[in-house]
Structure 1
Amino acid sequence: MISIKGLSKSYGKKKVVEDVNVTIKRGKITSFIGPNGAGKSTLLSMVSRLMDSDSGEVLVDNDNVNKMKSNDLAKRVSILKQSNFMNVRLTVKELVSFGRFPYSKGRLTQEDEKVVDRAIDYMNLRELENRFMDELSGGQKQRAFIAMVIAQDTDYILLDEPLNNLDMKHSVQIMKMLRKLVDELGKTVVVVLHDINFASIYSDRIVAMKDGKVVKEGPTESIIQTEPLREIYGMDIPIQEMNDCRICVYFK
């Protein structure tokens, strides 16, 4: 369980995240939704300690992340940011191997190699493993970065808009893979999503943010309703039931 208590972050006089209190349950997909600038990405950065908070604390299974050694935290929480800039030329397999750094310190064991291979297979990247990252499409790169996070083999996986640059087919593949990570491997996935229909179909829980604050949270079915969505997005979004899924018709 990840407990976020009173977390806040400001830039100058602007409060980007304000007194957020959220509990992320183990073995679930929790999606963070909300308008641009709501503070979702900033919150994930503070949870993973990529960014310092101004106040509050984050507990991972009752351990304060600010008191953990970096290597210990990296074995328990992994994160994939929106933009991943590289100034070195790597193959897909070399990139995925970086996920093992908290364990191998750059010297891969046979067990590390097995974990890397499993991650590559999991993301259907076998045919691309020896290709250089700068030769890949945006969607292929994104799958490689997600494979790197999977290879890190943490209990908690944080993904900041992982569907960026992906077409419909690969977006569905990614969400199905995340669902398998939770259902088959017992991982806990926290994901920032802009498409509320992906959040509706694949999430167990949803946390909605607006103007740096949590405005709604709970089981998916309690959030994907017209009234809560109006409060979150400021627009009427009809809901239709299709194949036991709630679909948000926000484009009319």
Structure 2
Amino acid sequence: MRKKNMFNRLKTDKLSKSFGHHKVFENISITIPTGKIVNVLGKNGSGKTTLIKVLLNMIDSNSSQVYYDNEDTRKMGAGYYHKATAVLESVDNMYNYLTRKENLCYFLTLYASNLAIMTVIIFRS
């Protein structure tokens, strides 16, 4: 039985994606430990949805791979989807009088009872 890496559940190294000559993102390295909640924030067109689709193997990256428990997700087949969760939301439901972090904390507490640590990835365009 293969020993699972309980510290780095999802990992990429220098992940890049482009469509033709248009670079969506380049050299993104992500390590998401077990139990972390990740929020991807950015302007329209900054690559948030594309990144999520690459992480979920819905589209291929141009470089690097995505690893789940040190296993290449491309080789995991449909079983990977039983282990991965992604929620794509628009900003329409955010409260303007709260900061990004306050909005995130508020909505997360509505759906999760035990939030230990939160990681936020911000794309700059």
User: Do they fold alike, i.e. is TM over 0.5?
Assistant: yes
Alpha-carbon distance in 2 for matches of 1:74, 1:19: 24
Alpha-carbon offset, residue 13 of structure 1: 0.8
Structure 2 unmatched ranges of 5 or more: 1-8, 96-103
Give, in angstroms, the shift of residue 210 of structure 1: 2.1
CA-to-aligned-CA distance 1:110-134 (integer Å, 9 cap, x gap): xxxxxxxxxxxxxxxxxxxxxxxxx
Identity among equivalent pairs (%): 27
In the alignment, is the contact (CA less than 8 A) between 1:8 and 1:55 conserved in 2? Answer: yes
Match of 1:43 in 2: 51
Of 75, 80, 99 in structure 1, the residue corresponding to residue 82 of structure 2 is: 75
Please state if 1:209 is matched with 2:119.
no
Query: Which of the two has higher C-alpha Rg?
Result: 1
Instruction: Determine if contact 1:9/1:17 at 8 Å carries over to the other structure.
Output: yes
Number of equivalenced pairs: 109
Q: Which amino acid aligns with 1:63?
A: E
TM-score normalised according to structure 2 size = 0.73
- Quick one: distance in 2 between partners of 1:29 and 1:179? 10
Task: Tell which has more relative contact order, 1 or 2 (C-alpha 8 A, sep 6+).
Answer: 2
What TM-score do the two structures reach when normalised by structure 1?
Answer: 0.38
Q: Give deviations 1:85-132, integer Å, cap 9, x for gaps.
A: xxxxxxxxxxxxxxxxxxxxxxxxxxxxxxxxxxxxxxxxxxxxxxxx
* C-alpha contact 1:7 1:56 (8 A) present in aligned 2: yes
Is this contact kept in 2: 1:29–1:179, CA < 8 A? no
CA RMSD of aligned residues (A): 2.5
Counterpart for residue 220 of structure 1: none
**Which whole-Å deviations, capped at 9, do the CAs of 1:7-56 have from their partners, x for residues lacking one?**
11111111002111011122122211122222111111000011111111
Structure 1 runs of 4+ off > 3 angstroms?
163-168, 171-174
Unaligned runs of 5+ in 1: 78-156, 187-202, 212-252
Query: 1:49 and 1:38 mapped to 2: Cα distance?
Result: 19
Q: Distance in 2 between matches of 1:49 and 1:59?
A: 11
